[in-house]
Amino acid sequence: MNEILATILSATFVAAVIRTTTPILFASLGGLLSDLVGSLNVALEGIMLIGALTAVIVSAHAPWYIGVLAGLAAGGFLGGVMALFHLRFKADIILVGFAINIIAAGGTVTVLNYATGGDKGTSINIPSKAIPELDLSFLGNIPAVGPFLSEVFSGHSYLTWLAAFMVYAIWYFLYRTPEGLRFRAVGEYPPAAEAAGIAPNRLRTYGLIASGCLAGLGGAQLAMFSFVGFTRDMTAGRGFIALGAVLLGRRHPIGTMVAAVLFGFFEALSIALPGILQWMPGELIHTIPFVVTVIALMLSSRRRLIA
């Protein structure tokens, strides 16, 4: 037990939490934007997967930031496709989301097969690039807390800092700009928004595209920093956990971030635990983030019902 506490309180573990949180945070912020306009985006998982593969393949032929942008663009495109089918052709948003997930699961393996010349499992023989680390080791010069700070904050992906900034930017947009007010109104009660002269479908389209872009960034971070290279089904439920984070975070950017950090914490824990608790079977450790999501979802919803 002491050993676990010592691990959790260490600077390396905090840094690991930041790393595991980043992809989930991007996807959750995406889920938040689409959920607020009333189109629950269950395709986050599939969009992350496609974003990850796109980023890997493009980064093999271009600088890393072009790879990241390609992941973002692929995500935005898929968000646009969802908006087209949901808003224009009146398909159920949940079914559209699942169709995207299914296309992503099969499509990424198919494309990977052609991109690698026959490998259906990983992109290991594609020379893809990684997102560089942002070096903040100068923080180590601060007396007393310096070494701790530098270990926690130095060496993260550029995208981690972008994700943290996006939490603020999305909060500012939603709560401090008129467009953000309209954005929230559409999800709250569409007829009222419509009566006030807001076109719900236009905002929903923006919401879905933005949501796709953010999930695509999450995928890029996953395949170009967390792991370098693409493996089939590498998102492993992170998109759905992100959806849980949106619901758990009460559809508020700060709450969503807190929930994403919570899930990141348990993911990092499930990575660190096998080294400490050797008697505990790996499969059961692997279920920790999922069990936590279910329990957190139940508990948070309960409080809302009572309140």
Partner 1 sequence: MTQGRLILSETGRIVMAAIFALVVTLIIIFFASKTPWATFETFITSPLSSKRTIGIWIDDSAKLALAGLAFSLVFQARQFALGVQGQVYIGGLFATLVAFSPVGTTWIALPAGILAAMIGGAIMGFIPGYAKSKLGANEIVSSLMLNYIAYDVCNYILRVYLASLESGLTTSASFPPQSIYPAFIPRTRVDLGLVIALVTTLVVWFLLYRTAWGLKLRLTGHNARFAAYSGIRSSFIMVSAMTAAGAIGGLLGAVFVQGTAYGKLSIGFEAGMAFEGILITIVARNRPLAIPFVALGYGYLRQGAALMNYRADVPAEVIGIVQGIVILLVASSFTVPGKAMLARLMGNRTAASRATS
Tokens of 245: 């984070």
Q: Which is nearer to partner 1, 10 or 251 (CB)?
A: 251
- For residues 239-258, which are near partner 1 according to CB under 8 A? 240-241, 243-244, 247
Query: x/- contact string, 45-84, with partner 1 (CB under 8 A)?
Result: ----------------------------------------
- Is 271 a binder of partner 1 (CB under 8 A)? no
CB atoms near residue 73 (< 10 Å) = 17
Q: Which is nearer to partner 1, 85 or 206 (CB)?
A: 85
Q: Are 67 and 56 in contact (CB under 8 A)?
A: yes
CB of 272 to partner 1, least distance (A): 18
Q: Are 48 and 211 in contact (CB under 8 A)?
A: no
Q: Which of 4, 12, 106, 192 binds partner 1 (CB under 8 A)?
A: 106
Q: Which is nearer to partner 1, 6 or 299 (CB)?
A: 299
237-261 burial, b at 16+ Cβ within 10 Å, e below that, comes to ebbbbbbbbbbbbebbbebbbebbb
Q: Which is nearer to partner 1, 219 or 239 (CB)?
A: 239
Q: Which stretch binds partner 1 (CB under 8 A): 14-22, 94-102, 168-176, 201-209?
A: 94-102
- Is 177 a binder of partner 1 (CB under 8 A)? no
Residue with tokens 């692997």: 286
Query: x/- contact string, 206-245, with partner 1 (CB under 8 A)?
Result: ------------------------------xx--xx-xx-
- Is 42 a binder of partner 1 (CB under 8 A)? yes
Q: Which is nearer to partner 1, 177 or 287 (CB)?
A: 287
CB of 90 to partner 1, least distance (A): 5
CB atoms near residue 144 (< 10 Å) = 7
Rounded CA-CA distance 154/266 in Å is 21
- How would DSSP label each residue in 33-84? HHHHTT---TTHHHHHHHHHHHHHHHHTTS-HHHHHHHHHHHHHHHHHHHHI
CA distances from 61 to 52, 65, 67, 106, 127 (A): 15, 11, 9, 24, 8
Tokens of 298: 């139940």
Q: Binding residues for partner 1, how many (CB under 8 A)?
A: 47
Q: Which of 1, 5, 9, 298 binds partner 1 (CB under 8 A)?
A: 298
Q: Which stretch binds partner 1 (CB under 8 A): 19-27, 139-147, 251-259, 289-297?
A: 289-297
Q: Which is nearer to partner 1, 139 or 250 (CB)?
A: 250
Cα 163 to the chain's mean position, in Å? 9
Q: Are 234 and 222 in contact (CB under 8 A)?
A: yes
Q: Are 40 and 242 in contact (CB under 8 A)?
A: no
Give the binding site for partner 1 (CB under 8 A): 40, 42, 85, 89-92, 94-96, 98-107, 109-110, 113-114, 120, 236-237, 240-241, 243-244, 247, 281, 283-284, 286-287, 290-291, 293-294, 297-298, 301-302, 304-305
